Amino acid sequence: MSIDKGIVISPGRVNILGEHVDYNDGLVLPAAIDRTVHISFSQRSDNFIGLHAKDYEQKCLISLLDLESRIDHNGDPIPDWAYFPAGVAHTLQQHGYQVHGFDAEYHSDIPIGAGLSSSAAVEVGFAVVCQELGGWEMDRLTLARICQDAEVHYVGVKCGLMDQFACANGVEGHAVLFDTRSLESKAVPLPRDTTLVIADSMVRRSLRSSSYNDRRQDCETAVVYFHELNPEIRSLRDVPHPLFLAHSAHLPPRVYQHARHVVEEIERVNQAIGYLEAGQAREFGELMFETHYSLRDFFEVSCPELDMLVELAQGIEGCLGARLTGAGFGGCTVNLVESEKAGAFIKKLHAGYLQKTGLQAQVFQTHASQGAHLLQQTQ
């Protein structure tokens, strides 16, 4: 059943464990968070999308009949921020879904460029808008894949599926275990009496595409080597840790370092599932620290500011785990903190980081939240 007006809330996400394994068929453990994109929308009687991005105080009017050209109704190139909703509408049309014209005003409190998936939140939110206006059914895995397709082919960013999946499928109070090979998922409860604290280093990612591609290539080089040993090995997920270590001398040093992180990170996620299901918060937190050290020392995607945030966090009472989250080279850390000590933790981490770096980190408490949804239907 379709509606004419409404409000959609679409969350950002934080990846708690399983970093840089999504393109190696690994398991990831993200959670939707209560930093969101808020979209107020109403149906139009024509074939245009009218967008008002309040955070930029910019507007754009785009024809649904000419999305491929990436121009607005005046014939000018659409602004960068409009690529995300336009790309979703275009990709939905390509998949045979009817997209109605609409007006939408939206804003976000997700830090942009900090590794909390602000772009995926916009994509998933507008996919839900189109679904509500169109009145058609779509499962959330399909919705996430369409949004990923929009980002890859319309926006031009080669991303995995994890971000869109987490924004679409978040569960209150839970992380979502997502198998990037089988695309199966399940909600896993986060430890009781703990909270997630995000610390934005205020250093924006300088991850050059060449740096990212180099690491992907190194992983693929390792897979080629192990595939020759065993043709059943298709990705680093298929390489047992003992086998990897036994053949480490046969890999170029850089390939060994980068691939080692992935092999061990996939193992850590498997361990983490048991800890979470048993409510073992401290053991789970230790895996978070281990992941950070691996991202710093083996995968080489940390930076001094992120390392400082983790070092400071580890010394503050109540912190059970901390690590960089996202692609790296800037952005945020995620911290697992005892709930009753979260307030003091936030103050101490902010003050310590300012003293050490001169930077004002944004440090805030968050919780695992519901995926993108219709908040209310307006009359």
The catalytic site residues sit at: 163
Residue 263 phi/psi, 5-degree rounding, is: -60, -45
Pair type for strands 48-53 and 102-108: parallel
DSSP conformation letters of 274-297: HHHHTT-HHHHHHHHHHHHHHHHH
Using alpha carbons only, what angle is made at residue 372 by residues 370 and 375, rounded to the nearest 5 degrees? 90
| Residue whose C-alpha is closest to residue 131's, from 119, 152, 147 | 147
DSSP state of 364: E
* Tokens standing for residue 77: 């190139």
CB 1 within 8 A of CB 136: no
Q: Do 327 and 207 meet the contact criterion of CB atoms below 8 Å apart?
A: yes
Inter-helix orientation angle 162-169/140-149, to 10°: 140
What is the Cα–Cα distance from 353 to 217, expressed in whole angstroms?
A: 35
